[in-house]
Amino acid sequence: MRKIQSTSIFDFHGRPSLTTALPLSLQHVLAMIAGVITPPIIIAGVVGATPQEKLLLIQIAVLASGVCTLFHLYGVWKFGARLPAIFGVGFAYVPTLIAVGGQFGIGGILGAQLIGGVTMMVVGYFIQYVRHLFPPVVAGTVVLVIGLSLYDIAVRYMAGSGNVDAADFGAPLNWGVGLVTLATVLAASQFGKGVVKLSAIIVGILVGYGLSLALGMVSFASVADADWVAVPTFMPFAMEFHASAIVAMVVICVINSVQTIGDLSATTVGGMNRELRTRELTGGLLGNGLTTTASAFFGALPTSTFSQNVGIVAMTRVISRFVLALAGGFMLLAGLSPKFGALMTTIPYPVLGGATITVFGMITMTGIKLLIKDELSARNMTIVGLALALSLGIAEVPAAIERFPEWLQNVIGGAPIVVAAITAFTLNLVLPNTTLADEAREREAMACDDAGEAPGVGRQEAGEVSRPGRSRLDDEATPDGARGG
């Protein structure tokens, strides 16, 4: 038991003052809010939801994000990551949800989601036995691709919208507001002191929002129309179970588990300067499966980690659970009060884009930081290079997979993280684990052969055996009790 309560924002159990914690938590809320409300808006259009159903989907998504974040921060039994991470309804599932919703409606989505959530819990339980199959070269590749794949979102936002067909997309005014916001974030983070430095994102958002107000870019119509209080109901939509929908959802839920591994690894490496522990990983996957399953009963879409908030943690190193719990509390309040939630959605896209593009850059750098924990041998560089080439290449040329089965297009189309994860995982298993020392000895042997000399006895000849699919950090990554099995 802690006799003295820490007040440090750099301690997970630290409880700083409200004045210190409030701006730090608000920037987490503002970074995630657009990502939370966009999926239900998209799905509402796909399934032909009424205006009332659309508002309900948005409200319950915000509420579920708050509950999910608090659940993972504190945990219950074996469920919950107990890490400074934000969880909520996110983009990862959108391509699959569009395909399922277009054919089977919202009921088909929720029924398949229920089974997908259970599958995630199964993955979470067994992950402790296969953790060694996700060394830094695999986890780092996943995190790196997560960061790279988010850049277009930030640029779309800075240009004025998530939709390139919007009437004002790319307008100089949008870029002006986005760049002013970005410049403010950079100035606050590099030249600011104390809380201002750590709250650089919210400082940038406040400046950008003020500029947007002065330019008439903010509309409060949605705030005026929203109710003050709304309580969610149990099973607002009837569930339907269709085999093809369930298969598609199970596949994407398993793939999302890999992204969760990457995001949680990025959180501990970038924010806490240590490797992800097996208990935290198991709890994160079990908890995400449980919240995804429970969300289906209330009409909320599947949950996942929020990479932009992982970037904030990596950039600021603020890991206080109290700070992130405040963010979860705000989301919970917004979910119960649609008017409060509507107020947060008045922030223009250029402001959000300008504030978060540096965060996405930090995610990329965290991936690189993970990668260099393993030596950059020819084998590891092949894994990373091929995973990047295939994942980003297919994402840039979606027409390349148009002749594939529709379910496969839904899984890998527009989601480079899926291709990267599969490629890195598979190559790590099949390629022999040749180290830099092995490569040096191979070159020495080749040189000696050319010269007609006998090479010296190397480490392999002395009894060390290189095993495929493992890294030099496996002993750290292998769960307790799993060695020697």
Instruction: Please report, for the chain, the start and end positions of each structural domain, with discontinuous segments joined by +.
Output: 18-375
CA-CA distances (angstroms) from residue 251 to 247, 331, 457?
6, 29, 48
Element (H, E) at 373: none
At 427 the pLDDT is 93
pLDDT in tens, 448-465: 876 666 555 444 444 444
Distance separating alpha carbons of residues 94 and 97, to the nearest angstrom = 5
Element (H, E) at 436: helix 436-451
Which of 13-27, 151-165, 292-306 is least confident? 151-165
The SS3 of residue 110 is helix
pLDDT tier at 476 (50, 70, 90 boundaries)?
very low
CA-CA distances (angstroms) from residue 123 to 67, 90, 131, 248, 277?
22, 20, 11, 16, 16
**CB half-sphere exposure, 391, CA atoms < 13 A:** 25
Which of 16-25, 163-172, 283-292, 295-304 is least confident? 163-172
Q: At what angle do helices 51-74 and 278-296 cross, to 10 degrees?
A: 150
Which backbone phi and psi does 161 adopt, to 5 degrees?
-170, 160
pLDDT in tens, 227-280: 888 888 899 999 999 887 888 788 778 877 877 888 898 899 888 888 889 899
Q: Are 222 and 340 in contact (CB under 8 A)?
A: no
pLDDT in tens, 249-260: 887 788 778 778
Q: Which two tokens stand for residue 139?
A: 């986890």
At 107 the pLDDT is 93
Spell out where 123-254 has E strands.
Answer: none
Res 61 pLDDT > 60: yes
Q: What integer best gives the mean pLDDT of the chain?
A: 82
Which backbone phi and psi does 353 adopt, to 5 degrees?
-65, -45
Q: Is the dihedral of CA 79, 84, 89, 93 positive or negative?
A: negative
Res 325 pLDDT > 60: yes
Is pTM beyond 0.85? Reply is no
CA-CA distances (angstroms) from residue 274 to 2, 138, 265, 374?
22, 17, 9, 14
Distance separating alpha carbons of residues 354 and 183, to the nearest angstrom = 8
At 84 the pLDDT is 93
Which of 136-150, 225-239, 414-428, 470-484 is least confident? 470-484
Element (H, E) at 91: none
pLDDT tier at 80 (50, 70, 90 boundaries)?
very high
